[in-house]
Amino acid sequence: MREGEAWFRALTACPACAGVGIRGYKKGNFSGDLTQDQIKITDSQYGKTWDLSICGDCGHIFANPCPTPEHLSSLYGRVEDPLYEEESAGRSRNFLRILRRLEKFIPERGALFDVGAATGILLDLARRRGWEPTGIEPSSWAVRAAADRYGIGLIEGTLETATLPEDRYAAVTMVDFIEHTPLPFEAVRKAQAILRPAGILVLVTPDIHSRAARLAGRKWWHLRPAHLSFFSRRSLDALLRRAGFSIVAERRYSWTFSAHYLLSRKPALQARLKNMRPASFLKRIPIRLALGDSFEVYAMKDTGG
């Protein structure tokens, strides 16, 4: 038990809808201190979770107790993840599809803000397509990588505490971000504040009720120590409405990764892949995974909000 530890806290209300009818959902199997290596994007400790609670009002599932925002910020600030950048080609394909769909709602490019921007891959693509890109990222290593590789200057820090201009951005993207924060409402509300009227928020986040999640069970790849929130369609809608958004489009997110990256997800193969002669060849083989286990949601800032 971590009760009484300064970096851990118990929640008495739902982080998504603020409902107080919460109860235990599933006992976790993750123990020990959380480290920066366990929260990097390419971590492969699948199946490890905190104790999870569920909201009786909206169905949101979340870590409870969970690490404090301050402790998480300190850990993310020290994350280094070179494997993320090595997979930039596959990630670019994923982000390009999002940008193309986003542009259907915003035909005239404007300012775009990416939350959890990592090394700036999405922002580099957005810039090439005529957007005015910027973003925020807590990892000092990733901020340096974005500047060195793409010439993009990211804000180093967290969305909830950053001072940002209101009514400024045409679009805010949160791709695989919202499940990492213990403050999902505060994050989405901040996005609402910095978006201009009728601006678009893009959210990609895992669906714990998906068929893939049910089939994988405890080995589902989104069950990992870094993930603190698991949304349903109902809880996503509750979160977004509470923050002043209306969902205008949704679909199931599909991933593209190289064959090398997918094979490297198996810990037993990681060391062998480093020494394999065809490793570079495997990195050039893209594989698209349409697992249907993540939401891809486009939400518009309510003009009266």
Q: What is the DSSP letter of 42?
A: T
Q: What is the Rg, in whole angstroms, of the alpha carbon atoms belonging to the chain?
A: 19
The CATH homologous superfamily of the domain defined by 76-254+290-301 = Vaccinia Virus protein VP39 (3.40.50.150)
* pLDDT number for residue 198: 95
Reported residue count of the chain is: 305
User: What is the rounded CA–CA span in Å between residue 231 and residue 168?
Assistant: 28
| Number of other CB atoms surrounding residue 255 within 10 Å | 18
Low-confidence ranges of the chain (pLDDT < 50): 1-4, 260, 262, 269, 273, 305
Q: Quick check: helix, strand or coil at residue 135?
A: strand
Which residues make beta-bridge pairs with 55?
22
Quick: pLDDT tens for 232-261: 999 999 999 999 999 999 998 765 655 545
Q: What is the pLDDT of residue 6?
A: 72
Element (H, E) at 233: helix 233-242
Tell me, what DSSP letter sits at residue 166?
A: T
Task: Identify the pLDDT of residue 165.
Answer: 96
Burial string for 41-75 (b: 16+ CB within 10 Å, else e) reads bebeebebbbbbbbbebbbbbbbbbbbebebbbeb
Note the pLDDT of residue 261.
Answer: 55
* Helix (H/G/I), strand (E/B), else coil: 169: strand
Domains of the chain, by residue range, sit at 76-254+290-301
Which pLDDT score, from 0 to 100, does residue 277 have?
53
User: Three-state SS for 203?
Assistant: strand
**pLDDT tens digits for range 1-16:** 444 457 778 999 999 9
Q: What is the 3-state secondary structure (H, E, C) of 109-124?
A: CCEEEEECCCCCHHHH
